[in-house]
Amino acid sequence: MERRRLLFIAAIISVLVGVAAFVGSARVPPLQIIASMLSTTLAVATPLTLGALCGVWCERAGVVNIGIEGTMLTSAFFGWTAATALATFTAAPAGLCLLGGVGAAVVSAMLVGLLLSVLAVTFRVDQIIAGVVVDLFAVGVTGFLNRQMMFEHGGLFGGVAPQSAGVMPHVRIPLLADLPVVGPIFDQQPIAFAGLLLVALTHFVLFFTRFGLRVRAAGEHPRAAATVGIDVRAVRHRSVLIGSAIAGLGGAYFTLESVPSFEPLMTNGRGFIALAAMIFGNWTPLGALGAALLFGSAQALQINLQFFREAIPESLSFLQQSSIVGLLPYVLTMVVLTGVVGRTTAPAADGNPDDGRG
């Protein structure tokens, strides 16, 4: 990531953490607030990071994926449904139910990715339109099935509230979790840690393996790649499926790690913010992580200010309005996409359906 971009991210996060510490210092020690902000930032940035990684995999191979929002919404629904069904109809322990839910989330996301891949790669449908189709399909299917299962007497749960499998427990990294200030960062839930591991793994695969070279070749010079024997179409299919599986984990975060329930449209535009994180991160895994943390810090400020609303001074009374603070992630999205922090360069064949077959 460029030094200018890195400094911008660090500056914005520092300002937002400083605001939270200043506002709440009358009730809670500032170091405790800083620790809370850092921990919350990493947690709420998890779906953004995973969604951005999905975009990196797809667009590095030359496929524009506007359907990340729909992919995460679908996986959130089917992950919750599977975990809840296991908890309601079997005697399986909660941990096993949650693992089953994660598996269902990933599989459902890959099926959505397969739909996008068939439309965009096999049939060469306009990739923007294909992504919008995925988003609209996800909204309709999850909303309809949610009503049928939850509120209809003939549905899966018989019109009664099902037994929840709960959410994934926190995992503490020994020694690191006990460090002052930064310790809470190492006390997270499994999907948050998985997101960090996938950032490192994606970076390694894309830039240090033969398969990664083929992915990047398919997104930069598909005809040249086909000339040397690379099956560009197959590479693109695989990249979309890999990215969709990662987005499936992002969807599972909403219903299996954040809250143990599903609500229509609960992703709330996170897939589109993830796209902005990918662009601001210049289509790189590490850059996408940095941008996701930037947007996550804005949401973390909103969460932490809820505990200090009464302590907010009159000069900062606008911070008492959660709706105003809640706009920060979206305002930051518009700011970074204007290019004021520097221009970004997409893969040369991003969105180009040409696969070298003529």
Catalogue all structural domains in the chain, each as residue range(s) with its CATH number. 3-165+178-337 (1.10.3470)
Q: Calculate mean pLDDT across residues 87-108.
A: 94
Amino acid at 121: V
Q: How does pLDDT run across 250-259, given as a tens digit for each residue? A: 999 999 999 9
pLDDT at 123: 95
| pLDDT tier, 127 (very low <50, low <70, confident <90, very high otherwise) | very high
- pLDDT level of residue 328 (50, 70, 90 thresholds): confident
Looking at the predicted structure, is the pLDDT value of residue 212 above 70?
A: yes
Q: Which residues contact 50 (CB under 8 A, 6 or more apart)?
A: 191, 195, 198, 246, 247, 249, 250, 253, 274
CA distance 152 to 160: 9
CB 236 within 8 A of CB 355: yes
For residue 55, pLDDT over 80 is answered with yes
What's the rounded mean pLDDT across residues 16-28? 86
pLDDT of residue 315: 64
Percentage of residues in the chain having pLDDT higher than 90: 73
Residue pLDDT, tens place only, 23-52: 888 788 899 999 999 999 999 999 999 999
**Tens-digit pLDDT profile for residues 151-194:** 776 667 766 667 789 999 999 999 999 999 899 999 999 999 99
CA dist 88 and 273 (Å) reads 34
Check: CB of residue 300 under 8 Å from CB of residue 16: yes
pLDDT band at 4 (very low <50, low <70, confident <90, very high): confident
In percent, the amount of the chain with pLDDT more than 70 equals 93
Looking at residue 159, its pLDDT comes to: 65
**Mean pLDDT for all residues in the chain:** 91
CA dist 219 and 176 (Å) reads 39
Write down the pLDDT at residue 320.
65
Residue 172 pairs in a beta bridge with 187
Report which of 73, 76, 289 is spatially closest to residue 197, judged by C-alpha positions.
289
The tokens for 353 are: 């359906």
Tens digits of residue pLDDT in 297-321: 999 988 888 777 666 666 666 666 7
Q: Which of the residue ranges 177-181, 200-204, 239-243, 249-253 would you say has the lowest mean pLDDT?
A: 177-181
